[in-house]
Amino acid sequence: MRQFLTYLVLTVFVLALGGCRFGPVKDRGDDVTDPASQEEPRQETMQGGDLSFSGDLGSGARMEELNDPDSPLSKRVLYFDFDSSKVTEEQREIIDAHAAFLSRNPDVSVVLEGHADERGTREYNLALGERRAKAVEQLLQVQGVAADQIQVISFGEERPVALDHNESAWRLNRRVEILYSGY
């Protein structure tokens, strides 16, 4: 009987691990600066994290638009105030540009990742990250983007880009990332 219980516990453990996602953690950089002072959006490499590539995504959507540094489409990270999911006027312009792109390209989809800083409980931060991503989703849908083009995920405080425990790091972690399919 004891051997049976040992095998049962081992089987449950292996099955639990099988449901976990393992892999390298994306390096999002060590640069901890004020997001408002960043002149150029940080681009990561496709092999190792780059968000820029050329060619078609889906059925012909031209991705050069997303990579043009002069385009609002190159801005794919929206930062939020402490304990807020309110979208600013500047962010609305960026969201409007993404909405127009997605409306023109109905075969392209995005994932909206909501994030929070480390302050607050895990549950609260997951809910806050979701509220932030849903605020962006709602604005995209009002602009005509189909609901099936958008997926909302909240990571709360679980995926910080800045690991320090100060306001400049927290400011970078309070964000929604707009991730296009194929990235």
Query: Can you give the pLDDT at residue 10?
Result: 59
Domain 44-180 maps to which CATH number in 3.60.40.10, 3.30.1330.60, 3.40.50.880, 3.40.710.10?
A: 3.30.1330.60
| Higher pLDDT, residue 147 or 10 | 147
Name, in order, each residue with C-beta under 8 angstroms of 102's C-beta and a sequence gap of 6 or more. Answer: 108, 110, 140, 145, 149
Residue-averaged pLDDT of the chain: 78
b/e code 118-157 from CB counts within 10 Å (16+ = b): eebeeeebbbbbbbbbbbbbebbeebebeeebbebebbbb
Query: Can you give the pLDDT at residue 7?
Result: 57
Query: Can you give the pLDDT at residue 146?
Result: 96
**pLDDT one-digit tens code per residue, 11-52:** 655 555 555 444 333 444 444 444 444 433 333 333 333 444
Q: Is the pLDDT of residue 108 over 60?
A: yes
Most confident of 15-24, 61-70, 139-148: 139-148
Query: Can you give the pLDDT at residue 75?
Result: 95
